[in-house]
Amino acid sequence: MAPQTPLESGINTPNTHIHPTAARNDTPIVVESEKTVYTDEYITSTYDYHTQTVINDNGVFKVTPKVQTYQFRTQRKVPRMGLMMVGLGGNNGTTLTATILANKHNIHWHTKEGLQTPNYIGSILRASTLRLGVDPSTGSDVHVPLSSVLPTVHPNDLVIGGWDISSLPLDQAMQRAQVLQYDLQRQIAPLMASIRPLPSIYYPDFIAANQEERADNLIPGKDKQAHLEQIRKDIREFKQSNSLDSVVVFWTANTERYSEILPGVNDTAANLLKAIEQSHEEVSPSTLFAVASILEGAPFINGAPQNTFVPGCIQLAEEHQSFIGGDDLKSGQTKVKSVLAEFLVNAGIKPLSIASYNHLGNNDGRNLSAEAQFKSKEISKSSVVDDMVGANHLLYKPKGEGEKKGEHPNHLVVIKYMPAVGDSKRAIDEYYSEICMGGRSVINIFNECEDSLLASPLILDLSILAELLTRISYRCVDANGQGGEFKPLYTVLSLLSYMLKAPLVKPGTDVVNALGRQRNALELFLKACLGLEGQGDLLLETRVW
């Protein structure tokens, strides 16, 4: 197979905190503290992690504060990074590639509102800030771009490639997607034309039958072990031919049906590998791509709602200390829901029902018109309020003995395919709540959003953060400052939860869906890697004499 033609980009200067491209808008951060040490190779920080354990002793909550000291070590060299997307020729893949090209080449285009300049609005790394501290001369808060806290890859410098069941070059795939303005497409088409997706795998049982007409670019045969080896080869060749230091693989292809969890098939790593050898019908394309990425040491992110990470896949990632993250991009309606549900419950208001209706006309909507694929999406969208409801036993009766679930709002999710609206998705939500003395409150929200233009920046954030987390290691240290060897973070990258509808977490730990908590966790971790304490909103200096 001929090497894939990638989206090529510049090479970074090694051993610098700020990437050459990023230096245009990022300010270096230097922490002057005995807890933070800089060398040419690493930033090493010492961080005291404060927690509390709580025991309910006959109705008395006994709280014990605890402190564990960690050291974090971050490699400073920003690597030459490749991003391989499964579904490269889809709406998200073409939109993201065009966005990078427009920013890299500073392409301006005309709309009916006037001249438009390229940007990365919607990316928390490139378009949001973090409160770093207070300027003593003015007493004002100082905010810095999230991307400048630790050395991160700039999107303009990504090398893009990937797979698709459709053979269209990306200029034609972009035109088919009907997402971007015509004048932008016209200018960027010559740059997109040379990018062609690698052949992918197509198992008709996992996606809607209406996708078959697109499937003209397939790895031949039905041998799943052969498919696995070809995908692994594709990753290796892409990395080698483009002189890459690292590759992240991202699933942005169609939503699959849920895989059935079968003992002896996908319940353990060994069984999953054996099932692939036997071409078992319950091994999905996304799980196969995940396994290939794990075996190649490439972080794999699942941007769709299906259960790609079956138990055997998670165990395999643990065994290889390879990074995985997912599931399902949280771009529009669900992001609003995770904010509003948190607000209502924290305000002591009791949502009784949440009804969500969607209609959209892109290929994602067409695929979701099939019942099995819709079910995957329904599951990921429905769980988003669970942790907020479970946190308030004053409003909701907790799970009793023998019960699977405690009291919970009625939660309805409906998705319909409406070709006329294209990528411009419509979402309607009703929040029906109980308020004081038996009263009722109703909040209705109508949200119209261009789906792929919201999703593409999230793919950037997830991929770039996943790469950053591969360069961070940790160790626990004792009171004398002594610790063992540095080791990588845990396999499941739950720090990516802010961008995901159904966050994958370490087995046995609680899922956090509340958007504010997810964002706060990410900010606190980035600060911890600089040896900085999390600066909350207590603002004692404004409340004391």
Could you read off the pLDDT of 126-168 as tens digits, one per residue?
999 999 998 999 989 999 999 999 999 999 999 999 999 999 9
β partners of residue 55:
62
- Does residue 11 register a pLDDT over 90? no
> What are the tokens at 111?
């709309």
Q: Quick check: pTM over 0.95? A: no
- Catalytic member of 224, 335, 350, 377: 377
- Does residue 9 register a pLDDT over 60? no
- Does residue 195 register a pLDDT over 50? yes
Report pLDDT for 545. 87
Q: What is the mean pLDDT of residues 459-480?
A: 96
- Does residue 12 register a pLDDT over 50? no
Give the C-alpha separation, 529 to 511, whole Å: 23
Report pLDDT for 20. 35
CA angle 303, 308, 313 (to 5 degrees): 125
- CATH code: domain 333-450 is 3.30.360.10
User: Is residue 124 packed enough to be buried (19+ CB in 10 Å), middle (13-18) or exposed (0-12)?
Assistant: buried
Banded pLDDT at 376 (limits 50, 70, 90):
low
Report pLDDT for 479. 82
Residue length, the chain? 545
More confident residue, 9 or 175: 175
Give the C-alpha separation, 326 to 333, whole Å: 18
51 contacts: CB under 8 Å, gap ≥ 6: 65, 66, 67, 68
More confident residue, 90 or 483: 90
Give the C-alpha separation, 455 to 332, whole Å: 9
224 has catalytic annotation: no
Banded pLDDT at 424 (limits 50, 70, 90):
confident
More confident residue, 288 or 27: 288
> What are the tokens at 6?
């990638």
Contact present, 400 and 406 (Cβ < 8 Å): yes
Contact present, 294 and 269 (Cβ < 8 Å): no
Q: What is the mean pLDDT of residues 238-246?
A: 98
Taking each helix axis from N to C end, the angle separating 91-104 and 451-470, rounded to the nearest 10 degrees, works out to 70
- Catalytic member of 26, 328, 451, 461: 328
Alpha-carbon 471 to chain mean position = 18
- Catalytic member of 224, 330, 350, 425: 425
Return the number of other C-beta atoms located less than 10 Å from residue 142's C-beta: 13
Q: What is the mean pLDDT of the chain?
A: 90
Report pLDDT for 432. 97
Q: What is the mean pLDDT of residues 363-376?
A: 73
Give the C-alpha separation, 357 to 413, whole Å: 6
Report pLDDT for 365. 76
Percent of the chain predicted with pLDDT > 70: 93
Q: What is the mean pLDDT of residues 500-514?
A: 90
Q: pLDDT tens across 53-65, in order?
A: 999 999 999 999 9
- Catalytic member of 335, 337, 501, 527: 501
Report pLDDT for 5. 43
501 has catalytic annotation: yes
Banded pLDDT at 24 (limits 50, 70, 90):
very low
Return the number of other C-beta atoms located less than 10 Å from residue 352's C-beta: 12
- Does residue 10 register a pLDDT over 90? no
Q: pLDDT tens across 475-501, in order?
A: 999 988 788 999 999 999 999 999 999
- Give residue limits of the domains in the chain: 81-329+454-526, 333-450
CA distances from 7 to 104, 161, 405, 435, 436 (A): 11, 7, 48, 54, 58
Name the CATH architecture for the domain at 81-329+454-526.
Answer: 3-Layer(aba) Sandwich (3.40)
Report pLDDT for 26. 61
Banded pLDDT at 176 (limits 50, 70, 90):
very high
Q: Which amino acid is residue 123, in one-letter code?
A: S
Report pLDDT for 152. 96
> Is it true that 81-329+454-526 and 333-450 share their CATH fold?
no
- Does residue 212 register a pLDDT over 90? no
